[in-house]
Structure 1
């Protein structure tokens, strides 16, 4: 492969990676506890108050703490009183709902 082909391939790969969505990294319980103790993230119970305001009476099905593009996010699945499963993403620093969609 000549230099021109190599540079063209590198440019294509770079553009493809730049267009791809960022990868998420799951954080374990120990890391979540450390971040909470350091005051980097809010207590999960406080974050869930935001969910309770948006969906009163909902049931928590699953929760994961992830780092997405440098932002700590809780990915939460809930079951609403209407029987709908929703997936929400909450900013772990302040509880703001970043994403709210019906889960399929």
Structure 2
């Protein structure tokens, strides 16, 4: 009995399995509230103020809280006065800036 498997199929399956292990997990508002009450993450208002200070006059578009490898991260999207969308990632536990880049 011969089994014919296309190399592309095997690579796609392996890549899919790997990617599913490295994706961040989005957290809902109930879990975010619980983490805040436990002191595991800082208040969102405090971190939003930090993000907005980086880009004066920017408007908030979206905020997500996610967990990636045991680290809680706020991903903030801002629209700058010049019309550029910025993606800012902040460590939700200590406020450290992890990323500030133009969003594609």
**C-alpha deviation, 1:22, in angstroms:** 2.0
- Describe the superposition over 1:24-65 as per-residue Cα deviations: whole angstroms up to 9, x where unpaired: 001000000000011110000000121122111211100110
TM-score (norm: length of structure 1):
0.77
Counterpart for residue 70 of structure 2 = 70
Q: Is the 8 A contact 1:57 1:81 kept in 2?
A: yes
Name the Cα RMSD after superposition.
1.8
Counterpart for residue 38 of structure 1 = 38
Counterpart for residue 56 of structure 2 = 56
Q: Is the 8 A contact 2:41 2:93 kept in 1?
A: yes
What SS does structure 2 have at the residue aligned with 1:101? strand
TM-score (norm: length of structure 2):
0.77
Counterpart for residue 29 of structure 1 = 29
User: Which portions of structure 1, spanning 4 or more consecutive aligned residues, are displaced by more than 3 angstroms?
Assistant: none
5+ residue gaps in structure 2? Answer: 1-13
- Describe the superposition over 1:57-79 as per-residue Cα deviations: whole angstroms up to 9, x where unpaired: 21110011000111100111100
Count the aligned residue pairs: 89
Aligned counterparts of 2:52 and 2:94: Cα–Cα separation in 1:
15
